[in-house]
Amino acid sequence: MFCSNYIKPVSNFFAQIQGKLFILLFFITLISGVSSTSFSQVDTSLLKLIFENPETLEFLLSDSEEINESESDFPIPILSNGLYGYSNRNKEIVIRCKYDKAELFDPSTGLALVVLDGKFGFIDRKGTLVIPLKYEYNLGYGMTGIIKFSEGLLPVENNGKQGYIDTKGKVVIPFKFKEAYYFSNGLAVVKVRDKYGVIDREGNFVAKPKYDFCYGYVEGMCLVRIKEKYGFIDTKGNEVIPCVFDDALHFSEGLANVKSNGFWKFIDKEGKVVIDDNFEYATIFSEGMAFVKKNDLVKLIDKTGKVISQYQFESVEPFSEGLARVQVGGKWGYIDKEGNFAIQLQFDYCQNFSEGLAAVGTENGKYGFIDKTGKIIIPPVYDDVWGFKEGFAYVKKNYQWFFIDIFGNEYIK
């Protein structure tokens, strides 16, 4: 639910690669299966992907002080004979394949989630179980980054109650909650009996459990619901915006869209209305832009409410990495922040861009990945896919789930 993405100008990276270009090209040749004496044979689309997408270049060229500790240095989950283990980039097994599921290593903790016989735990880069396989693994966990330590703590369940452990497996907040959610800015939503509240890292209540639901903190504000009305509480648990709205979405870029009397509008963190034009629908602001709908027209607006463009879109999604996906006539494409089509309507399905690539679906029900020009980088041969994260994507083919890297290398034997 919580994520952060940042994009640096390509020029910043070129300033860092003096004396490293040979190393970069040598790395590309290794993963492309090209001999080190034949740089001219390297697929130009790979070079284009790297140098036109700063996220990809950042993944390959971290600062020299950090490269040994980056995610690229961690073993990679690999599937072999129906079981998961870990390999290096040459697909040489470094941690034996014996798990039912295995997750990417988290660079912030140096740990990876593994599952065996319905129980999950965490291993270090040597394969040692740091946290034993003792917690129940429920459908939907793992392989998508769902089970991951947040601010050094993880909610887990024991004997029907939930609490929090640290990265050593020590219980730091006792198992006493009906539900427990991830920490964000030192706060976490929990459920006691039939009501939700907010606790700090010591387990003390900041907001007492009186809400019918709490949706978690974003930008220092937590969306809450009492009966069928929505409002917001701050990090001290104060209800700074009362529960008076018929619907609401979380704050994004300082504004939240709320619904009352059948129409949507945008408010600031003091509850003041800043954009209001009786919108029938509104997305959150993303990268300074939002979509709103009025009189059957979908409009792209900036944070002043200025209309940048308008179309008769059937469906829209917020901007990600400079592009937003839109649907017309059953087909999906992408527009830029001027409202122009960057990638024409042509896909039966598509996802947001992540790390310079986006998953798209074709008429035959297969999925692949494109770059920001719309060029197919990884062919549509998969039955299902998740977006790229930390240089890898989770894909399904022939009833098997496994990871691929940004070059389409499949970690399966």
Name the residue with tokens 């922040």.
Answer: 337
Per the CB < 8 A criterion, the answer to whether 255 and 285 are in contact is yes
Mean pLDDT along residues 285-289: 97
Per the CB < 8 A criterion, the answer to whether 153 and 173 are in contact is yes
DSSP assignment, residue 202? Answer: T
What is the model's pLDDT at position 116?
96
What is the model's pLDDT at position 4?
34
Q: State yes or no: pLDDT of 42 exceeds 60.
A: no
Segment holding 59, helix H or strand E: helix 54-60
* Closest of 347, 284, 344, 343 to residue 319, by C-alpha: 284
Per the CB < 8 A criterion, the answer to whether 379 and 388 are in contact is no
Q: State yes or no: pLDDT of 244 exceeds 90.
A: yes
Model confidence at 44, pLDDT cuts 50, 70, 90, reads very low
Per the CB < 8 A criterion, the answer to whether 367 and 360 are in contact is yes
What is the model's pLDDT at position 8?
32
Model confidence at 296, pLDDT cuts 50, 70, 90, reads confident
pLDDT: which is higher, 37 or 319: 319
Give how far Cα 235 sits from Cα of 48, 232, 255, 355, Å: 44, 10, 17, 31
Per the CB < 8 A criterion, the answer to whether 50 and 60 are in contact is yes
What is the model's pLDDT at position 148?
87
Q: State yes or no: pLDDT of 47 exceeds 70.
A: no
Mean pLDDT along residues 119-135: 96
Name the residue with tokens 């036109």.
Answer: 52
Mean pLDDT of the chain: 85
| Strand ranges of the sheet holding 349-350, from the earlier edge strand across to the other edge | 349-350, 358-361, 367-370, 376-382
Q: Where are the alpha helices (DSSP H) in 263-358?
A: none
Mean pLDDT along residues 60-89: 72
* Closest of 370, 363, 395, 371 to residue 382, by C-alpha: 395
Q: State yes or no: pLDDT of 179 exceeds 80.
A: yes
Q: What is the pLDDT of residues 372-413, one digit of tens each?
A: 999 999 999 999 999 999 999 999 999 999 999 999 999 999
Mean pLDDT along residues 125-145: 76
Q: State yes or no: pLDDT of 369 exceeds 80.
A: yes
Mean pLDDT along residues 271-289: 96
The CA dihedral of 147, 151, 152, 153, to the nearest 10 degrees, is -60
What is the model's pLDDT at position 17?
37
Give me the percent of the chain exceeding a pLDDT of 90: 76
pTM, rounded to two decimals: 0.77
What is the model's pLDDT at position 138?
64
Rounded CA gap, 142 and 84, in Å?
13
Tokens standing for residue 64: 């020299």
What is the model's pLDDT at position 72?
53
Q: What is the pLDDT of residues 82-115, one digit of tens each?
A: 999 999 999 999 999 999 999 999 999 999 999 9
Q: State yes or no: pLDDT of 159 exceeds 70.
A: yes
Where residue 322 falls (left for φ over 0; alpha for ψ -120 to 50; beta otherwise) is: left
What is the model's pLDDT at position 39?
32
Q: What is the pLDDT of residues 320-358, one digit of tens each?
A: 999 999 999 999 999 999 999 999 999 999 999 999 999
What is the model's pLDDT at position 363?
86
